[in-house]
Every structure is written in structure tokens, then in C-alpha cells.
Amino acid sequence: MTRKFFGTDGMRGLTNSEPMTAETALRVGQAAGAHFLRGDHRHRVVIGKDTRLSGYMMESAMVAGFTSVGMDVVLLGPMPTPAVAMLTRSMRADLGVMISASHNPFHDNGIKLFGPDGYKLSDDTERAIERRLEKAPKLAKAEMIGRAKRIDDARGRYIHFAKSTFPEQLRLDGLKIVIDCANGAAYHVAPEALWELGADVVALGVTPNGTNINDGCGSTHPQSLQAKVIEEKADIGLALDGDADRLLVSDQNGRLVDGDQLMALIASQQKRSGLLKGGSVVATVMSNLGLERRLATDKIGLIRTQVGDRYVLEAMREKGCNIGGEQSGHIILSDHSTTGDGLVAGLQVLAVLVREGKPASEILDQFEPVPQLLRNVRFDGGAPLDTTKVKARIAAAEAELKGHGRLVIRKSGTEPLIRVMAEGDDLAQVERLVDDICEAVASA
């Protein structure tokens, strides 16, 4: 069964257009709630959201859906995605929901679902929920309709959890840290956690107004962070995205570091400490070849998956690995979290900074990336990757790069885009091949 609503990371789209309408959100609440009504206990769902204006509408609709099938609802308000996953487990909930479109602009929104174990739902479970969306819901009897309750201490619970992942014997005293929260879900908790650990905190992107999430700030627009690090003469800068499951880092000179460098840093530290599990790091096909080469110097393997942090996590669980992630900054540290957590990943980087006592530029520069180019081509329906012209261009590029680089072509799971990535030791060759394929896709 082809999934109609769910993509690589839950559901996502333009607000007030299908599937991101209040009506569909209500139906998803009913379908997901009915799927997790198991056993005789009083059932509970935890709902968090980011700071989008449409979050109010989507939250209310989902509350109506869940309560109508007999589920109680606990409302967290604006909270990072990893906080929802953590609180789903700690509150013994049957289901967790994050209303967010992650790094997308404010006019988009999305729905991410977590099982009672705090992990994102499997493809099979999402398909089962989609099948329920095709049928009329079985509504609860009047006396069994669910209740909704908003809790006030969710922020404090998550801050305590995040701090617990930082080594007890260490503090951040003496470090000036710039953190950009993208006017998103972590606008309160991330600066507070760093301050409680002793840091001198300079906070950006902490004045959400419903429409400025990810707008010229956060991990998708890190230029403000980089400039502020230099202006403040800070030791390091951290950039989160709208739902705070993604992290990019700036060194003291304003140089940006991506998820590949962060995984190399954390994995090498774990290996030296005897804490690395599975002997490998799990990353996607988009991670730089330089990461693979760097890990090999420490006798650490690299397992690649298709794009999507859920697939990274599935491979981590299957192979027994405790570090995985994506070049974009999703870092999953399964000793602490069941999903990507930008704040927790940042704290592990800061722990290395404190232990080493070296400038951020020295510890973050883990390897020289192989020249890599990623371009997106928007398309209007159809299947451009299936055309003879595009297939021929891809085949020719693969033949030319064989033994000297890689080519990854994929359709986005959240937007009408074809993503074209090539990497190799010859930048001019990489640029030419990407241009050729993008031209073919655009004219298909």
C-alpha cells in the first residue's frame, strides 16, 4: 500500500491545504487514537507543538479527534520534538504527537507520531493508521469521551533530562555560547539549560510571534549565528531548527560545522572512552565521503541508509549502534534519546570542548570534506526520474564518477523536489554533472 498522508517524517504540507487541514488533523487523531486503544487502562496521548500560528488550530483539532475516540490528552505547549518523545515514555502515554513542520517556513505544518516507547512509528503502523482514515471512526460512548489537560512543568522536566546527559563532573563556567533557537520550540528550554550549567548565554531566535519561525534564523539560516559569534567573541555557537531536533555548530571564527563533522567528533570520543556501541556510526547516503574516511582512521565503520532519521534509527537498533544521524544535523544518540535532539547533541559537543580545553576550531575540524554539491529541482507533478532523458544523464554521470565519487538522486519525501547530489575529488566535474542532471530534470 502506497502511503497517501505520511512521508519520510510524518505528515507535512501547506496549512489549510490537504493534508494539513483541521478536518484531516481531527481524523488523524481519531485514527491514531483508535489504533493505540489497547487494553483496559485509561488511554493517554501527549501533544506538543512548535511556535507556528497554525499550531493552535491543529492542536485543537487533534484534541477533538483523540478525545472523541476515548483518549485523554496531555498538552505540553511549545516543546522540542525530542521532548515529546521523552515525555511520551516518562508519562506512560500510549502515543505522542508533535505538531511541527521542522525547518520549513511558518505557513507549513506537520504531524509526527511517536509510539509508547518514544520511537517514531514504523511504516507498517503508519499504513495501518492510513487504512483507518478511509473508514468512519468508532466514536466513544458519551461517558467514555476523553479529557484534556495542560501541564505547566513540561519545560522543567525536559531541561532536567537534557542536563542529565551532560557529564556530572563538568560545568560550562567561563564559556560564552551563542545559541539560535530559530524562534521555534526550544526558544525557552535551550538557553535555560545552558545557563543552568554555568554558561554565559547569548540567545538568538527566542522571540516567536507565530510567523517568524525559521525566518532568517536557526540551522537553515545560520548566518546570523555566525556573525553573532564573531561579534560577541564567543567560544562557540549552536543553531537549532524549528522543532529543535537538528543542530549545526559554529566555531569561534564563525566557521559552520555540519552533522557529519559532529558525528565524527562524538564517535571518536566515544570510541576512546569505550562507549561506542556496534563499532559503527549510522548515516544516510547523503553523508560526505570524508566522514567515512575519517571514521576509518579510528577503525569505526559507517553504515549508510536511505534519507530520513527514522531509517537511521531503524539501522541503529538493528545493528546495535548508539550514534547516528544526518549531514543536516539530525544527531541521534540512543544512549539518551529515541530521536534526534539538537540540545543533547550540542551538550555532548560542549563536553568535549570543556574536557579538551582547546578552541572550538580545533576540536570541530575533524576531516576535510570531499567536494559535494546538492541542488534541488522543483517539479509540477509527473515522475521526472522515470523519463528516458533523465535516466540516461544519471547513468552517464554514474559511469564517469565510478571509483572517484558518488551520485545520489532522490525525490523529497516532504516537498515536490528532486534532490540531486554528487561528490568526488574533482569539484569542477561534480558541478558539471549536477548541472547536467538538474537541467534534464527541469525540462522533463
The catalytic residue positions are 102
Going by C-alpha positions, the residue among 14, 24, 105 that lies closest to residue 65 is 24
Report how far Cα 283 is from the mean position of its chain's Cα atoms.
13
The CB density around residue 121, as the number of other CB atoms within 10 Å, is 22
Residues 29, 49: Cα–Cα separation, whole Å = 15
Asked if 68 and 24 touch (Cβ cutoff 8 Å), the reply is no
Residues 13, 22: Cα–Cα separation, whole Å = 12
Please compute Rg for the chain using Cα positions.
22
Residue 276 C-beta-side C-alpha neighbours within 13 Å = 23
The set of cell numbers assigned to 392 is: 540516461
Residue that has been written with the C-alpha cell 487523531 in this structure: 29
The set of cell numbers assigned to 127 is: 499504513
The set of cell numbers assigned to 70 is: 476515548
Helical packing angle, 189-196 and 342-356, nearest 10°: 30
3-state helix, strand, coil in the chain (%, to 5): 40, 20, 40
Residues 77, 50: Cα–Cα separation, whole Å = 8
Report how far Cα 240 is from the mean position of its chain's Cα atoms.
10
Residues 137, 162: Cα–Cα separation, whole Å = 38
Nearest 5°: phi and psi at 48? -120, 170
